[in-house]
Copies of this chain bind each other. A is one copy, B any other.
Amino acid sequence: MNGDTDGSARDGAANGAARGPADGGPGLRERKRRRTHAAISDAAIALFLEHGFQQVPVARVAEAAEVSKRTLFAYFPTKEDLVLHRIADHETEIARTVRARPPGTAPLAAVRAHFLRGLGERDAITGLSDHPQVRRLYRMILDTPSLVAGMERFKASAERALAEALRETADTPETTARFAAAQIVAVHWALAQDNAERLAYGETADARYAGAVTDAEHAFALLANGLGDLPRGG
């Protein structure tokens, strides 16, 4: 949960790997950068979890991290990113799953298997992690419109990445790739959100697990077999 694999927003020289002085490993500058980045992020999360996202002005976060407001915004482009940068790594996860699937596997089957395995491992991306930190994070995000909006950006970006993966590895026409990606991401997201919502308010991961699996299998079956036989009604 402290997956600060960020390497973020510096605009200076295009330094491929930011090595240190005379190339003897990460230099002092870089180490300080990382510490500052982490300090700001940690202060932010702690304050937000305690008082609520909207209630804490960025100025107070900067103060807690012993950094100027100006510096804070040099590390994180927006207030929302103080929270969401921790999730950013996962935005291409579905696409990567499709790319890494064993030969002869259908893309959808790969995503399905990955999701089900994630449920078993209580991977945060499935919405089924009930580590207290993660749970409070789910809740905070779900309760904060601007954070939800931020998540939607990830969704869009996951969609693009998946479409590209489908085009390249499944030799799918562009339109097919786009529509399929839209469907898959939408459903994946709905599943995770549903789980997260339930865990955010009390339900335990173990208690939810069976239902989560059922729902996931159901949803992926719909994706695979189509909506053609929905009841007609009337």
Residue positions of A touching B, CB distance < 8 A: 101-108, 149, 152-153, 156, 166, 169-172, 175-176, 178-180, 182-187, 189-191, 194, 215, 218-219, 222-228, 230-234
B186 touches A185 (CB 8 A): yes
B222 touches A225 (CB 8 A): no
Copies in the complex: 2
A-B pairs, 5 with minimum CB distance: A103-B234, A226-B226, A186-B186, A182-B186, A224-B228
Q: Which residue of B180, B187, B231, B232 is within 8 Å of A230 (Cβ)?
A: B180
B108 touches A223 (CB 8 A): no
A228, chain B: closest CB distance, angstroms? 4
- What's the dominant secondary structure at chain A's contact region? helix
A182 touches B175 (CB 8 A): no
Distance of A215 Cα from B176 Cα, bound (Å):
9
Given known contacts A104-B234, A107-B233, A183-B222, what 12 new A-B pairs fall within 8 Å (CB)? A102-B234, A105-B234, A107-B232, A152-B156, A170-B231, A176-B222, A178-B194, A180-B227, A182-B187, A183-B223, A223-B226, A225-B228
| Chain B residues with CB below 8 A from A228, complex form | 106, 108, 224-226
Distance of A187 Cα from B172 Cα, bound (Å):
17
Q: Which residue of B103, B179, B186 is within 8 Å of A218 (Cβ)?
A: B179
Distance of A24 Cα from B58 Cα, bound (Å):
53
Q: Which residue of B108, B175, B190 is within 8 Å of A178 (Cβ)?
A: B190
Distance of A160 Cα from B102 Cα, bound (Å):
36
A171, chain B: closest CB distance, angstroms? 6
Distance of A186 Cα from B159 Cα, bound (Å):
10
A80, chain B: closest CB distance, angstroms? 11
Distance of A57 Cα from B145 Cα, bound (Å):
23
